[in-house]
Amino acid sequence: MILAAGIGVFLFFGRTGTIEVTVDPVSSANLNVPEATTSGTAAKPAGVKTTTKLADIENQKPLANPPKVIKAIYLTSWSGGSATRIKYLINLAKTTQVNAAVIDIKDYSGYVAYDIGVPDVIKYNAKEIRIPLINTLIKQLHDAGIYVIARVTIFQDPRLALARPDLTVKSKKTGGSWLDNKKINWIDPAAKDAWDYDIAIAKDAASRGFDEINFDYIRFPSDGDLNDMSFTFWDGKSSKSSVLKSFFKYLREQMGETKLSADLFGLAAINHDDLGIGQVIENAYQYFDFVCPMVYPSHYANGFLGYKNPALYPYEVVKYSLDAGVKRLMAGIPQPTTGSSTTVASSTVAASVPFRAKLRPWLQDFNLGATYDAAMVGKEIQAVEDSLTGDNFSGWLMWNPSNVYSL
């Protein structure tokens, strides 16, 4: 089966009709640039076969009886369009504890990966059909009992930046769009037009039958010449965390009761500041069904918890991070009645909305800082189970950018 961070420093690294489709992109490793993990590319893999015309089926419904505990692997959009990779996923679901998949529908490149009809996506030329028959794919996975999560990246978006440079973070030096260390554009997190654009994409994905929508890159930029940044929509006076909280609230209002999850840096579970990027875990707890801190041990700085190389201590790093995160989560959830009184944590009073989320972390299944074989990944999973006990345990998400997982 698949065995599959106190105050500290975190390393910022930079998921219907007749259409033209690409048949079975190659099954070799398809790399993508994940939020806070190893680098790669979302370019089309070599060896993709010629295109043909196929018609998709009708929109699907979410699973009627979704699993209570989600154990998911991540797939790029290219893998989502590969018959070989989907067969691999279904086999994992048959032979391991995996019961879910996170599939990119809009990754860091800004392209939407299926034949979406959202007018602005078409207008901005932001569609690249990597998953030819999205409804058919969802049905195939649902028929195999697999819970399907659509991953949408938000404020790192080169395609939207190209079409709408007015929405981007600006460079003080050039007056043009600011670029991070990887020469990628960022959208001003306070730009409401960008909010509406991504929400339209998320709504379309939900209408297709995805069981959950997962949001990544929901933050201010962290890598690059930060002193060179200027913002048109953010006033620079209100806190970054308040900007993101407003987005979270708006997102929930617009998406209704669709299941939503948010990816945060691992230190968001530990630090009580916003990490300089606007991420405060309590704000996410209020509006998402699942909050997913990326507790990759390789991404904690040397010296974290006294370890020279935290990547060598997956159990200790993951458990410490989640223990901190669950303590903060429980502080904002009304506790059950005991005797004649109801115990409610003090932070609930301060919270404008009671916490609704559960913790469900991203775990590392890639080699960085240490070799992550099945035993190392198993230690991460054990840490999750030991920290998030009972009803608090809602599973984990496993990241490997090559989409090949430890068995």
Q: What is the pLDDT of residues 172-207, one digit of tens each?
A: 999 999 999 999 999 999 999 999 999 999 999 999
61 domain residue, yes or no = yes
Work out whether strand 229-230 and strand 170-171 pair parallel, antiparallel, or are unpaired.
antiparallel
Write down the pTM of the prediction.
0.87
**CATH code where residue 276 lies:** 3.20.20.80
Q: What is the pLDDT of residues 81-92, one digit of tens each?
A: 999 999 999 999
pLDDT grade for 353, boundaries at 50, 70 and 90: confident
Average pLDDT, the chain: 87
325 domain residue, yes or no = yes
The neighbour count for residue 218, using CB atoms within 10 Å, is 25
The neighbour count for residue 95, using CB atoms within 10 Å, is 11
pLDDT of residue 354: 85
381 domain residue, yes or no = yes
Least confident range from 16-20, 59-63, 102-106, 402-406: namely 16-20
Q: What percent of the chain has pLDDT over 90?
A: 80
Residue 333, sorted as left (phi over 0), alpha (psi -120 to 50) or beta, turns out to be beta
pLDDT grade for 280, boundaries at 50, 70 and 90: very high
51 domain residue, yes or no = yes
Domain count, the chain: 1
404 domain residue, yes or no = no
Residue 89: both structure tokens together: 């996923």
Full domain range(s) for residue 375: 18-399
d(CA 81, CA 328): 39
Bridge partners of 261, per DSSP, are 214, 290
pLDDT at 52 over 80: no
pLDDT at 302 over 60: yes
pLDDT of residue 43: 55
Q: What is the pLDDT of residues 18-40, one digit of tens each?
A: 233 333 333 333 333 345 444 33
255 domain residue, yes or no = yes
25 domain residue, yes or no = yes
81 domain residue, yes or no = yes
pLDDT of residue 336: 57
pLDDT grade for 335, boundaries at 50, 70 and 90: low
pLDDT of residue 46: 55
